[in-house]
């Protein structure tokens, strides 16, 4: 059955029937708005949109994959503030001839990714559109802590990373060259593995700045460095090239460090830790903060591709 | 200049430069997420999406109009819960050849409509897309009151209305027949005049149920009646047909009551008041709640068009 045959309310019913409950959800879908617990007295909120053909392809990713990725992109932004995600709202624009099963798969992916951090889908809207589009808003709670911004890094801080970089970019390159393996990389592109808990953990330890790595490590640390008015130097030796990435890079004629340092969409977290703070589990040192501006690798500019601009 | 020439970050800079501050905004655009005050300890949240060709046309509405309407559709949902709007987040998908000025106008409209209720645009995302799409999420604060749901209406309650119905539908019909006047109706379609304050006011008075009229009064009261397991009977004589609407209806061969009773997009608020509660300023009685199911007008089914289904 197509979404057009199901109708607006039929589609909404089929989607909401698949959503799990969440502890912070005081009122879920069905009324004019949802009500979400915000025990801290402040709410952290972020919106990210995925557009078919630009952020995903239906022949590369299943509906469930796209749901996971749309949720992850937003939940990672909440974690990067040091907050715990509580809820998602979803605006879904679909071509009228889309199979209802695709929308249901998307709901399953969104709900499962949210559930993995104790959050849930609490509301949304659907519309017909020629372009399949998924806009997600994530909410989160700071648990009494100050939010971790981008502008607090100081010379002497250690730059540390939680999660992976380069895997999703490598998977994207593999898929765009017509391959379906290695599975490790392709799966990383389809469903990022995000270290959500590392965000609040780092916040508790007193990191001075933190960012979600969505555009690429060099680009996002560039934003952090600019906001903090400092420079960052990364240590190339801190980045291991996994075997399957090395093999794929060799086969495709790509520098694997371009993936590791400039590839986006894995949604790792990068943060600046004061020198005397021991790194918590899940974080590893990859560089340090110095006086100046810009981001370098072993003291020199990295000459690979820069971050992703959605209009170029 | 086109948005493509400005680039993703250029577009974001141009938009954020036009956004006003808001009292509840603790951290605005520029970091991974925004931080919004939620003094109640709960946050009300709603998402609505507008798609070009389906919800608006660029030859019918200016960019500023579309901004006002996108904000209003969401802010009205917050008011319908009895809450005060605090913040908007916006996902904007634009064709690469869109003029930057259009995006700036949209930002102006969103920001102005939000400012009219003391809220502000605190964050968002932009992407290129073949289809111009504006997805907005609104947040609000309940000020210590319970949210007003759809399911509390009881037989004997008075159904009251705040704001206008039928104006936007009449304006849409006028525009779709190729006319540009009467201005009263066309302007109502372009920029709804929403009685935001009437929502919290009604909540304080103890309304048993409330709903935003976005699909049409009969359709939205139908949702309220179904959720409350009651019937609603409207009084046709409670609805005045304004002169300009009467003239337009006569000229176009339309029943003006079809606009008044079934037209959406004015974002009036409809609520069920206990019989003994005096109606506050801005609210007028239009019917009452009885045992049974469904919505009638003077005891009979209304035979005009039903509400709007985005997939039909």
DSSP string covering B228-282, please?
HT-EEEE-GGG----HHHHHHHHHHT--HHHHHHH--SS-EEEEEE-TTSPPPTT
Give the whole-angstrom CA distance, residue B131 versus residue B303. 35
Amino acid A89: pLDDT: 98
On whether any CB of chain A is under 8 Å from the CB of B142, the answer is: yes
Whether the pLDDT of residue A304 is over 90: the answer is no
Whether the pLDDT of residue A288 is over 90: the answer is yes
- Partnered with residue B48 across adjacent β-strands are B136
Kindly give the residue spans of alpha helices, DSSP state H, lying in A87-216: 100-115, 167-176, 183-190, 198-205
CATH homologous superfamily of A3-141 equals PurM-like, N-terminal domain (3.30.1330.10)
Residues of B in contact with A38 (CB under 8 A): 38, 40-43
Residues of A in contact with B30 (CB under 8 A): 150, 227
Q: What H or E segment, with its residue span, contains residue A141? A: strand A133-141
pLDDT in tens, B6-60: 998 899 999 999 998 899 999 999 999 999 999 999 999 999 999 999 999 999 9
On whether any CB of chain B is under 8 Å from the CB of A226, the answer is: no
Nearest to A166 by CA among A253, A250, A269, A241: A241
Write the residue in B48, B128, B135 that is nearest to A310 by C-beta.
Answer: B128
Mean pLDDT, rounded, for A280-309: 88
In total, chain A counts a number of residues equal to: 312
Amino acid B312: pLDDT: 46
Give the whole-angstrom CA distance, residue B159 versus residue B178. 36
State in Å, rounded, how far the first CA of chain B is from the last one.
37
On whether any CB of chain A is under 8 Å from the CB of B30, the answer is: yes
On whether any CB of chain A is under 8 Å from the CB of B262, the answer is: no
Q: Which two tokens stand for residue A207?
A: 């990191």
Give the whole-angstrom CA distance, residue B233 versus residue A98. 38
Residues of B in contact with A11 (CB under 8 A): 311
On whether any CB of chain A is under 8 Å from the CB of B40, the answer is: yes
Kindly give the residue spans of alpha helices, DSSP state H, lying in A58-144: 63-79, 100-115
Amino acid A303: pLDDT: 79
Mean pLDDT of chain A: 95
- Low-confidence stretches of chain B (pLDDT < 50) are 308, 312
pLDDT in tens, A244-283: 999 999 999 999 999 999 999 999 999 999 999 999 999 9
The CATH code that applies to domain A158-297 is 3.90.650.10
Q: Which residues of B are annotated as a binding site?
A: 32, 46-48, 55, 77, 124-125, 150, 212, 214-215, 265, 308
Rounded alpha-carbon distances, angstroms, from residue A190 to A66, A194, B133: 7, 12, 24
Amino acid A217: pLDDT: 97
Give the whole-angstrom CA distance, residue A44 versus residue A224. 19
CA distance A304 to chain B (A): 20
CB atoms closer than 10 angstroms to residue B118:
13
Amino acid B214: pLDDT: 94
Q: What 3-state class would DSSP assign to B120?
A: strand
Q: What H or E segment, with its residue span, contains residue B205? A: helix B198-205
Q: Which of A47, A72, A309 to substitute to test the interface with B, most B CBs within 10 Å?
A: A47
- Partnered with residue B2 across adjacent β-strands are B99
On whether any CB of chain B is under 8 Å from the CB of A138, the answer is: yes
Give the whole-angstrom CA distance, residue B82 versus residue B59. 35
Q: Which of A85, A202, A311 to substitute to test the interface with B, most B CBs within 10 Å?
A: A311
Amino acid A305: pLDDT: 58
Whether the pLDDT of residue A307 is over 70: the answer is no
Give the whole-angstrom CA distance, residue B168 versus residue B43. 30
Judged by CB atoms within 8 Å, which residues 198-217 of B form the interface with A?
210-212
How would you list the strands of the sheet with B42-51, edge to edge? A25-27, A34-37, B42-51, B133-141, B84-94, B120-128
- Helices and strands (H and E) in chain B: how many: 9, 12
CA angle B287, B74, B304 (to 5 degrees): 40
The strand pair at B231-234 and B294-297 is best described as: parallel
What is the DSSP code (8-state) at residue A52? B
% chain A with pLDDT above 90: 95
On whether any CB of chain B is under 8 Å from the CB of A96, the answer is: yes
Domain borders along chain A are 3-141, 158-297
Amino acid B303: pLDDT: 79
> Searching chain A, which residue's CA lies closest to the CA of residue B270?
A32
On whether any CB of chain A is under 8 Å from the CB of B146, the answer is: no
CB burial of residue B220 (10 Å; 0-12, 13-18, 19+):
buried
């Amino acid at each position: 059955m197509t979404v057009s045959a199901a109708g607006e309310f039929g589609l909404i019913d089929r989607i909401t029937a698949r959503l799990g409950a969440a502890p912070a959800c005081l009122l879920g879908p069905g009324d004019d708005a949802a009500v979400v617990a915000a025990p801290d007295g402040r709410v952290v909120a972020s919106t990210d949109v995925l557009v078919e053909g630009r952020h995903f392809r239906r022949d590369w990713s299943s509906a469930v994959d796209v749901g996971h990725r749309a949720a992850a992109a937003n939940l990672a932004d909440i974690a990067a503030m040091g907050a715990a995600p509580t809820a998602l709202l979803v605006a879904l624009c679909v071509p009228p001839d889309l199979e209802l099963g695709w929308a249901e798969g998307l709901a399953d992916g969104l709900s499962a990714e949210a559930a993995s951090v104790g959050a849930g889908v609490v509301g949304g809207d659907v519309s017909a559109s020629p372009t399949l589009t998924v806009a997600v808003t994530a909410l989160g709670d700071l648990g009494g802590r100050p939010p971790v911004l981008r502008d607090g890094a100081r010379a002497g801080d250690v730059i540390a990373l939680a999660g992976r970089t380069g895997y999703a970019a490598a998977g994207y390159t593999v898929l765009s060259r017509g391959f379906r393996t290695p599975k490790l990389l392709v799966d990383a592109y389809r469903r990022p593995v995000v270290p959500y808990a590392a965000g609040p953990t780092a916040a508790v330890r007193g990191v001075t700045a933190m960012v979600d790595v969505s555009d690429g490590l060099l680009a996002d640390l560039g934003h952090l460095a600019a906001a903090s008015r400092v420079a960052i130097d990364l240590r190339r030796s801190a980045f291991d090239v996994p075997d399957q990435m090395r093999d794929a890079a060799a086969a495709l004629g790509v520098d694997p460090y371009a993936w590791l340092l400039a590839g986006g969409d894995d949604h790792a977290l990068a943060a600046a830790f004061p020198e005397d703070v021991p790194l918590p589990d899940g974080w590893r040192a990859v560089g340090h903060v110095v006086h100046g501006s810009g981001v370098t690798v072993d003291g020199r500019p990295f000459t690979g591709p820069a971050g992703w601009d959605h209009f170029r």
